[in-house]
Amino acid sequence: MTATIETPSRPAPFAGRELRRVPPTAWVVLLSGILLLSIVFSVTLGPADIRPAEVWGSILGHLGLDPTALGGQVLSPLRDGIVWELRVPRILTAAAVGAGLALSGTVMQAITRNPLADPYLLGLSSGASLGAVAVILLGFGLLLPVAAFAGALAALLATLLLAGAAGALTPTRTVLAGLAVSSFFGAVTSLVIFWSATGDTYREILSWLLGSLSGAGWPAVAIGAGALLIVGLPLMLTGRTLDAFAFGDTAASALGIGVNPTRWLLLTATALLTGAMVAVSGSIGFVGLILPHAVRLVAGQRNRVVLPLSALAGAVFLIWIDTGARTLFDPRELPVGILTAVVGAPVFALLLLRARRIR
C-alpha cells in the first residue's frame, strides 16, 4: 500500500536532491534539537538585563533542581518572576501556537489539495478572532477558547459550503471563498470593535487582529499545549490518510478511506486546533501557509514526514519571530502578526516563484 500511496516524486523545484536523501528521522532529530536550543537561548533574551546564568538558575529552580547546579544562579523573586512568569510561558506558547498553526496548514493543504490553504487564508483565524472578541466584549472571557473554536468552525463551514456550492472544490474556488469569508468575519470583528471599544481599548483588540503573544502566561501554555497534545498529536499521525487524499477522492476511497467523513473529521480537528491557538494568540498569519511549503522543499511531499517536521519548524519559527517582536524595538513591543507577515509574505512570494510546478 505504501508504495502506491506515496505522492509521485515530483522533481524538486529547486532544493538540492541531496537534501531529499537525508532520512526523515534525521530531520526530526535535527529540528527537535534546534527547537530545544531555541527555547533555551531565546529565554535569555529580553528587555530586562538578566544574565543567562540567572535565567537558567530560575528555570532549574522551578523544575525542582538545584539552581546552582550546572552553573545557575539564584535571583530575586521579582527577576525570577520575569523569567518564570513572563518569558518561559510566552516562549512555550509561541512554540505551541507555531506548531499548531503549521500543522493545521499542512492538513488543510493536503485535504483540500490546495497549496494555498491555511487557517488564515481560509478564514478560520478571522472566524476564531470574531468569536474571541465577541465573548471578551460580552464579558464571558472564560468561554474564550470555546468561542474561538466555534468561530473557526463556522468560518470553515462557510468557506467550504460557499466553495462547494459554486462547483467542485477547486483550489481557486476554495481560496476565493476563504477570501470572502475572511473579509466578512474581519469586517464583523471591526464592526464589533468600532461600536463597543471605548477610549483606547481598541489597542487591546488590535492585538487580536494582528496576533500577539504578549499576554501569554501559564494558562495560555495549558490551552496551547493541551490542544497540541489532544488534537495536534493525532493529526500528526494521519500522514498516510493525507497522502491518499493527494491522489484525489476516487483514489482515496479505492484505498478504503471514507472520503467525506474523513475529510470533515480532519477539517473539524484543524478548526479546533486553530481555535485554540487563536484563543491564546489572536490571528497570526502565514505560519500555517509557508512552513509546510518550506518543509516540503527540503523533505519531500510525504505527509508522514511533512506533518511532524512542519510542527517542529513552526514552533522554532514562531519562537524566533516572537523574540524579535519583544526585543527588536525594546522597550516597545510589536504585535507578532506584523512580523510573521513581514517575514512570511516575501518567503511565500519566493516559494511561488521558485515552485511554479505547484498549481
Q: Exposure pattern of 28-48 as b/e (b: 16+ CB <10 Å)?
A: beebeeebeebbeebbebbee
Q: Which is nearer to another protein, 53 or 86 (CB)?
A: 86
Least distance in Å: CB of 135 to another protein?
A: 16
The helix or strand, by DSSP H or E, that contains position 157, with its residue range, turns out to be: helix 144-165
Q: Which is nearer to another protein, 6 or 80 (CB)?
A: 80
Least distance in Å: CB of 132 to another protein?
A: 13
- How far is 345 from 338, CA to CA, in rounded Å? 10
Residue 90's identity, in one-letter code, is R
- How far is 51 from 55, CA to CA, in rounded Å? 6
Which residues contact another protein by CB under 8 A? 46-50, 77-79, 81-82, 85-87, 198-201, 203-204, 207, 212, 214-215, 217-218, 326, 330-333
Q: Which is nearer to another protein, 79 or 113 (CB)?
A: 79
Give me the residue label for grid cell 488590535.
206
Give the DSSP letter of residue 230. Answer: I
- What does the block give as the cell for 306? 511533512
Least distance in Å: CB of 195 to another protein?
A: 10
Least distance in Å: CB of 200 to another protein?
A: 5
- How far is 138 from 140, CA to CA, in rounded Å? 6
Nearest CA to 7 out of 298, 303, 211, 293 is that of: 303
As a whole number of Å, the end-to-end CA separation of the chain is: 26
Q: Which is nearer to another protein, 66 or 330 (CB)?
A: 330
Least distance in Å: CB of 84 to another protein?
A: 8
Q: Which is nearer to another protein, 10 or 203 (CB)?
A: 203
Say if CB 270 and CB 104 are below 8 A apart: yes
Query: What is the SS3 assignment for 82-123?
Result: HHHHHHHHHHHHHHHHHHHHHHHHHHHHHHCCCCCCCCCCCC
Q: Which is nearer to another protein, 47 or 164 (CB)?
A: 47
Least distance in Å: CB of 204 to another protein?
A: 7
Give me the residue label for grid cell 505504501.
2
Q: Which is nearer to another protein, 75 or 121 (CB)?
A: 75
Say if CB 119 and CB 105 are below 8 A apart: yes
Least distance in Å: CB of 341 to another protein?
A: 18
Contacts for 290 with CB less than 8 Å, ≥ 6 apart: 344, 347, 348, 351
Within 13 Å and on the Cβ side, how many CA atoms surround 7?
22
Least distance in Å: CB of 96 to another protein?
A: 17
Q: Which is nearer to another protein, 210 or 299 (CB)?
A: 210
Q: Which is nearer to another protein, 204 or 249 (CB)?
A: 204
CB atoms within 10 A of CB 324: 18
Least distance in Å: CB of 207 to another protein?
A: 6
- What does the block give as the cell for 116? 494555498
